[in-house]
A = this chain, B = another copy of it.
Amino acid sequence: MPYTIEEIAKALGARAEGKTDLTITSAAEPAQAGPDQLALAMKPAFAAGLSQGKARAAMLWADAVWTDYEIEAAILVPRPRVAMAGLSAIFDPGQGYGTGIHPTAIVDPGARLGTNVSVGPMAYVAADAVIGDNSVIGPQAYIGTAARIGAGALLHSGVRIMARVRIGDRFIAHPGCVVGSDGHSFVTAEESAVEQARASLGESVTAEGQSWIRLHSLGAVVIGDDVELGANTTIDSGTVRPTQIGNGCKIDNLCHVAHNVRIGNDCLFAAQCGIAGSTVIGNNVTLGGQVGVTDNTSIGDNVVAGGASKVFSKVPAGRVIMGSPAVKMDTHLDGYKAIRRLPRLFEQVAALQKAVFKSGENE
Contacts and interface: CB of A to CB of B under 8 A. Distances in A.
- A interface secondary structure, majority: loop
Contact of A142 (B29, B126, B157, B363): B157
Interface stretch (A3-11, A16-24, A353-361): A353-361
Contact of A92 (B218, B284, B352): B218
A43 interface: no
A120 to B, nearest CB: 8
Interface in A337-358: 338-343, 345-349, 351-353, 355-357
Contacts of A338: 339, 342-343, 346
B341 A346 contact: yes
A48 interface: no
A176 B197 CA distance: 33
Contacts of A158: 142, 158, 160, 176, 178
Contact of A355 (B79, B88, B356): B356
Contacts of A175: 142, 160, 162, 178, 181
A112 interface: no
B121 A106 contact: yes
30 contacts: A85-B213, A85-B215, A91-B216, A92-B216, A93-B218, A158-B178, A160-B176, A174-B178, A175-B178, A178-B231, A192-B286, A194-B304, A197-B304, A202-B328, A204-B319, A206-B318, A207-B302, A211-B248, A272-B274, A274-B290, A276-B288, A276-B307, A290-B290, A307-B310, A308-B310, A334-B343, A338-B342, A338-B346, A349-B349, A351-B363
Given A96-B145, A202-B328, A338-B346, 17 more contacts: A84-B239, A85-B216, A96-B163, A140-B140, A140-B142, A158-B160, A192-B286, A207-B284, A234-B254, A270-B276, A276-B288, A308-B324, A324-B324, A345-B349, A349-B349, A349-B352, A355-B357
